[in-house]
Structure 1
Amino acid sequence: MDWDRLAGDWSQMGSKVRKYWGKLTEEDISQAGGRRDLLLERIRERYGLGPDEAEKQLAEWASSQDTQNSGQAVQEPGSDRMV
């Protein structure tokens, strides 16, 4: 999914981001405000990830939004849980 589309509907996407990356706080989501670079920074901080891994997870999550809209579940990073 195109990041501009995700950022354009940040009020809804922010809650999906928080559900996927449970260590992110409401404040993290609010401060990111749909900005991809800030969200990557917060993911790296909360999960102790390097830039490549954080980028990979964010790209996978963003592309999964099309999959979720079609009703398929995706796996939360670092767990066996499907969201």
Structure 2
Amino acid sequence: MNWDIVEGNWKQLKGAAQEKWGELTNDELDQAEGKREKLIGLVQEKYGQTRDDAERAVDDFYRDHT
């Protein structure tokens, strides 16, 4: 999985991330900078998910937008 694609297009993909994870603020998404680990941590924290569930959700997002 080449996460660099998401990082490089984060400004464009941030809106899609906001739609998927509406509880994440613009500031939080800006801080994530499209980085996989940061996004997993945010999703895990905001939604009370396990690490595995958050990873799956973020990886699904990647597949849907690349």
Same fold (TM over 0.5): yes
Q: Which runs of 5+ in 2 are unaligned?
A: none
CA deviation string 1:29-79 (max 9, x = no partner): 01101111111111011100010000011111111114xxxxxxxxxxxxx
TM-score by length of structure 2 reads 0.90
- After the TM superposition, which parts of structure 1 deviate over 4 Å for at least 4 consecutive aligned residues? none
Asked which structure has the greater RCO (Cα within 8 Å, sep 6+), the reply is: 2
CA distance in 2, matches of 1:64, 1:32: 18
CA distance in 2, matches of 1:37, 1:49: 14
Equivalence for 1:54? 54
**Percent identical residues:** 32
TM-score by length of structure 1 reads 0.73
State the one-letter code of the partner of 2:24: L
* RMSD across aligned positions (CA): 1.3
Q: Which runs of 5+ in 1 are unaligned?
A: 67-83
- More helix per residue: 2
Total equivalences in the alignment: 66
